[in-house]
């Protein structure tokens, strides 16, 4: 949740009038929300899995079925059929039809779906479609790290920066942070962790749900037997090669911070967790973390923060045990202390009024956090004390643990249910069956919501509030777990269609994930990914999820530019629109979870995880002139396994823009460039190379990029 948002996670949006005008094929919403050049044929702009659903939504006023054709990169028609008229779609305010080409399962790049003479954006069909996003969505957290320098070899030269908030001038913290007046009379070392969103605050309650999702993504993959894809040396983190799965290394960075937020022994409220730490006043935009000169402050402990610590530390103790037993012991000790402290102080609420310099994250209902923490402690220890806390909670049988509006930082009972449904425990069989049934029932409700909409979004028509994209992603997580529990393929289909929504099949034809799709968000609200305000700063890195449509229009840019928008179209890719276009750790966490899930594929289908670090890239400028250049890029597979399908990413440090390419499909968002194989060079045998060329424009110098990543892993 954005630091600017002072309402609870499930606050209802303001009423917004729907569009009443008839929409012509190829026409756009009669609001300023539609992206420039948007086509009426809305697809997942990245692509589709060969064995997954392949559906598109067509904006049209026609009431008759239309003919669709699927063409490959050569322009050959490979499949055809008729659309299904659906008529008015309330959330988007559009009249739509559906095209379903799921029966086509061949692979390739550059497909285009044509409906009644109108073309979609090009897209791929391939088994490794989500491998890059699995890596990039998780890399978001490394980019957001506080208290460590960000390495160009891991993040790309455009994103390298000195460590922020380590007490090095001009920083005032976070190694010795005082409390707000009247809260405490000592200082605390609270370095590390992840910056929360577009601001540079760090919040325990938002860090809690984000950490839980990151760790849970690994726990789920381990149950599925696909955890190798998140294992050691698979992600771009400095800890790679230490024998610990990289996704857990990333989670540990935040877990260490969360434990540093615990009130020390011998102090008032020992064992409780401080609610948050951030600047005394709102940090100016743009400001890089190491350049922030404001004093930092600890805010009063809260019961909600303390229970977030108890829950995530208990989960840590369970999942880290096979890899780092000493750290697991530390986590469990911190979880027990936090639980005891929360029981002794069950009503210390963070006030909604504490919103100067950072989000308030107020929450005066913490029975759900008690349930979640008890569930994690019980699943980890099996102890009767925690079992009794689970079974005596009203949330254990409440129908409200899952809602149409998803779970979130202020509504965490669903997390406890998901853990109890999937982690072996000693609950009676009847109790376990009821818990699992509640997950499946919630997933069925989301399926029903999707079936009633033209864009198949797991969001009710009145659910487009602040962070609606995370609502869609969180609900997709529930559907994925239901699929795991039942083996019913309908749920995986729905999860993949939820990804379609995030990646371009939506009311405005916009991919909300930076670097993925023909028109992807790249001006998200952020303090130092602020290229729109300062050309020397980068856009957000690939894999960053925008908050999404918010019909309440809670910022000046949205109020000026989006008046009259239909709920699902209330979005603008502008750095000033913090209520529709901010990034946040609790939004990227479910995206990373889903990307890892979508990337799962059984061994033998070209699919185990591809080697991600065994590569060398050569970038050679062949010719340059005053305002342009050509270059050859060669990637060598130095590993022992063949690479079947590749995605090479880099950033241009001098503002260069790719204007054309050959022997690869190349896209660019801001400074970030992604090159994908064409059909004939998709396989790179061990020791072999693949080369392609680019032509670009420039203004000024032409420095060569230095950091390359193949299928998500850094190359030499």
Residue pLDDT, tens place only, 236-264 = 999 999 999 999 999 999 999 999 999 99
**Each residue's pLDDT tens digit, 322-350:** 999 999 999 999 999 999 999 999 999 99
Could you give the angle at which helices 585-599 and 468-486 cross, rounded to 10 degrees? 40
- Given this model, what pLDDT does residue 37 score? 67
C-alpha distances in angstroms, 575 versus 99, 289, 436, 505, 532? 34, 18, 41, 23, 7
- Given this model, what pLDDT does residue 514 score? 98
C-alpha distances in angstroms, 199 versus 4, 78, 98, 503, 530? 9, 48, 40, 25, 12
- Given this model, what pLDDT does residue 9 score? 38
**Cis upstream peptide for 286 (omega within 30°):** yes
Decide: helix, strand or coil at residue 166.
Answer: coil
Catalytic residues: 199, 525, 573, 582
Q: How many CB atoms lie within 10 A of CB 167?
A: 15
**Each residue's pLDDT tens digit, 472-501:** 999 999 999 999 999 999 999 999 999 999
- Given this model, what pLDDT does residue 644 score? 82
- Given this model, what pLDDT does residue 35 score? 55
- Given this model, what pLDDT does residue 659 score? 87
Give the mean model confidence (pLDDT) for residues 517-543.
97
Residue 82: is it exposed, middle or buried by C-beta count within 10 angstroms (0-12/13-18/19+)? Answer: middle
Decide: helix, strand or coil at residue 112.
Answer: strand
pLDDT band for position 36 (50/70/90)? low
Give the mean model confidence (pLDDT) for residues 220-238.
94
Asked if pLDDT for residue 438 goes beyond 90, the answer is yes
Asked if pLDDT for residue 581 goes beyond 70, the answer is yes
Distance CA 93, CA 97 (A): 13
Asked if pLDDT for residue 674 goes beyond 90, the answer is no
Q: How many residues does the chain have?
A: 716
- The counts of H helices and E strands in the chain are 15, 28
**Each residue's pLDDT tens digit, 292-333:** 999 999 999 999 999 999 999 999 999 999 999 999 999 999
Asked if pLDDT for residue 114 goes beyond 60, the answer is yes
Distance CA 301, CA 118 (A): 57
Asked if pLDDT for residue 612 goes beyond 50, the answer is no
Task: Return the closest-CA partner of residue 17 out of 579, 461, 404.
Answer: 461
- Given this model, what pLDDT does residue 24 score? 27
C-alpha distances in angstroms, 384 versus 363, 377, 379, 380? 28, 10, 11, 12
Give the residue ranges of DSSP H helices in 487-584: 489-502, 556-561, 578-581
Query: Quick one: CA torsion of 251, 256, 259, 265, rounded to 10 degrees?
Result: 160
pLDDT band for position 559 (50/70/90)? very high
Could you give the angle at which helices 585-599 and 204-224 cross, rounded to 10 degrees? 10
- Given this model, what pLDDT does residue 660 score? 83
pLDDT band for position 625 (50/70/90)? confident
Return the ∠ at Cα 281 (arms to 276 and 286), rounded to 5°: 100
- Given this model, what pLDDT does residue 413 score? 98
The pLDDT mean for the chain works out to 91
For residue 569, the Cα-to-chain-centroid distance in whole angstroms is 20
Distance CA 508, CA 36 (A): 9
Decide: helix, strand or coil at residue 386.
Answer: helix
Give the residue ranges of DSSP H helices in 228-354: 246-260, 303-320, 325-344
- Given this model, what pLDDT does residue 713 score? 78
């Amino acid at each position: 949740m954005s630091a600017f948002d002072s309402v609870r996670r499930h606050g209802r949006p303001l009423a917004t009038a729907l569009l009443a005008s008839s929409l012509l094929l190829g026409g756009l919403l009669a609001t300023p929300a539609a992206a420039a050049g948007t086509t009426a044929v809305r697809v997942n702009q990245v692509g589709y899995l060969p064995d997954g659903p392949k559906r598109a939504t067509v904006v049209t006023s026609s009431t008759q079925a239309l003919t669709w054709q699927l063409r490959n990169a050569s322009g050959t028609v490979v499949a055809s059929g008729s659309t299904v008229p659906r008529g008015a779609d309330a959330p988007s305010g559009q009249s739509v039809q559906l095209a379903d080409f799921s029966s086509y399962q061949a692979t390739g790049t550059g497909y285009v779906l044509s409906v009644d003479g109108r073309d979609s954006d090009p897209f791929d069909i391939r088994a490794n479609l989500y491998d890059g996003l699995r890596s990039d969505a998780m890399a978001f957290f490394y980019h957001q790290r506080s208290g460590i320098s960000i390495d160009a070899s891991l993040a790309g030269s455009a994103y390298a920066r000195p460590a922020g908030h380590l007490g090095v001038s001009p920083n005032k913290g976070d190694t010795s942070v005082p409390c707000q007046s009247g809260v405490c009379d000592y200082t605390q070392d609270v370095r590390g962790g992840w910056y929360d969103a577009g601001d540079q605050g760090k919040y325990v309650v938002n860090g809690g749900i984000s950490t839980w999702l990151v760790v849970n993504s690994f726990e789920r993959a381990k149950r599925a037997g696909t955890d190798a894809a998140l294992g050691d040396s698979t992600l771009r983190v400095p800890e790679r090669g230490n024998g610990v799965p990289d996704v857990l290394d990333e989670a540990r960075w935040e877990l260490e911070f969360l434990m540093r937020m615990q009130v020390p022994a011998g102090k008032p409220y020992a064992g409780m967790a401080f609610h948050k730490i951030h600047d005394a006043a709102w940090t100016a935009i743009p400001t890089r973390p190491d350049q922030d000169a404001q004093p930092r402050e600890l805010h009063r402990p809260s019961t909600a923060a303390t229970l977030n610590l108890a829950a995530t530390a208990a989960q840590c103790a369970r999942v880290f045990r096979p890899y780092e037993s000493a750290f697991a012991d530390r986590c469990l000790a911190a979880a027990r202390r936090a639980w005891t402290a929360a029981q002794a102080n069950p009503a210390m609420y963070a006030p909604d009024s504490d919103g100067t310099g950072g989000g308030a994250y107020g929450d005066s209902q913490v029975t759900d956090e008690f349930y979640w923490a008890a569930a994690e402690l019980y699943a980890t220890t099996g102890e009767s004390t925690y079992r009794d806390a689970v079974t005596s909670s009203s949330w254990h049988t409440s129908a409200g643990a899952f809602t149409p509006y998803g779970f979130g930082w202020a509504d965490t009972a669903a997390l406890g249910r998901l853990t109890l449904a999937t982690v072996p425990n000693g609950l009676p069989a009847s109790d376990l069956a009821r818990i699992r049934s509640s997950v499946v029932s919630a997933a069925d409700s989301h399926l029903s919501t999707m079936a009633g909409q033209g864009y198949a979004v797991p969001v009710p028509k009145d659910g487009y509030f602040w962070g609606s994209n995370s609502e869609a992603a969180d609900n997709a997580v529930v559907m994925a777990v239901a699929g795991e529990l039942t083996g019913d393929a309908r749920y995986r289909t729905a999860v993949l269609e939820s990804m379609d929504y995030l990646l371009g099949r939506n009311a405005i034809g916009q991919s909300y994930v930076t670097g993925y799709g023909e028109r992807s968000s790249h001006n998200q609200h952020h303090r130092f990914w602020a290229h729109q305000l300062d050309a020397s700063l980068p856009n957000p890195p690939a894999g960053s999820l925008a908050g999404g449509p918010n019909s309440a229009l809670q910022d000046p840019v949205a109020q000026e530019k989006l008046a009259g928008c239909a709920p699902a179209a209330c979005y603008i890719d502008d750095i000033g629109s913090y209520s529709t276009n901010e990034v946040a750790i609790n939004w990227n966490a479910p995206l990373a979870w889903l990307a890892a899930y979508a990337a799962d594929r059984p061994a033998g289908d070209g699919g185990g995880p591809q080697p991600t670090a065994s590569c060398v890239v050569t970038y050679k400028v062949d010719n340059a002139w005053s305002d342009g250049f050509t270059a050859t890029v060669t990637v060598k597979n130095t590993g022992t396994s063949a690479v079947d399908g590749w995605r090479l990413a880099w950033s241009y440090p001098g503002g260069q823009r790719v204007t054309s390419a050959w022997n690869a499909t190349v896209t660019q968002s801001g400074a970030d460039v992604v090159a994908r194989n064409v059909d004939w060079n998709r396989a790179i045998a061990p020791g072999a190379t693949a080369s392609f060329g680019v032509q670009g424009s420039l203004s000024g110098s032409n420095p060569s990029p230095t950091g390359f990543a193949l299928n998500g892993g850094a190359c030499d």
